[in-house]
Amino acid sequence: MTHTRFAFVKANWHADIVGNALKGFIEIIPTQQVDVFDVPGAFELPLVARDLAASRKYAVVVAAALVVDGGIYRHDFVASAVVNGLMRAGLDSDVPVLSVSLTPHHYQETEHHRGIYLSHFIEKGREAARAALEIVHTRARILE
């Protein structure tokens, strides 16, 4: 599996928090196997994830974002569109697309909440890496 490549796409909205998912991811999967791509926000993740998956360069594409509830309906719309788009990108391309796109209902720009999500995204990155390795292994077993 040393030649397996992974794509990691991250939204720049709340980049300091979202970037921690990448930190957790590369704790499990060596950075030399990971190509990193940035997009402006969560809404752009499905398009870039689809393009990366369609390139056939990657065994798995991981997409990370933090979609916060700003007190308007847009939060639910964006969260739904992102998750549905990521799933569709994976199914249409036959390349797994994993989501580390979190949508907390009560996030506030306080040190307390930032601290929670800074550490939470590291763990979510680790979970995504474990899932990526497991899906690669499982799909290889199917082809045996």
Q: Which ranges in the chain belong to alpha helices (H)? A: 15-28, 45-54, 74-93, 111-143
The pTM for the full model equals 0.89
Identify the active-site residue in 74, 88, 139, 141: 74
Higher pLDDT among residues 21 and 69, named by residue:
21
Sheet holding 34-39, edge to edge: 34-39, 6-11, 60-66, 97-102
Which tens digits make up the pLDDT trace of 71-100?
Answer: 555 666 677 788 888 999 999 999 999 999
What pLDDT score does 51 carry?
96
Residue 74 annotated among the catalytic residues of the structure: yes
Q: Residue 96 is encoded by which pair of tokens?
A: 């797994």
Residue 54 pLDDT class (50, 70, 90 cuts): very high
Distance CA 110, CA 112 (A): 5
Q: Please, what are the domains in the chain?
A: 6-143 (3.40.50.960)
Q: Which amino acid is at 71?
A: G
Distance CA 59, CA 96 (A): 7
Average pLDDT score, the chain: 86
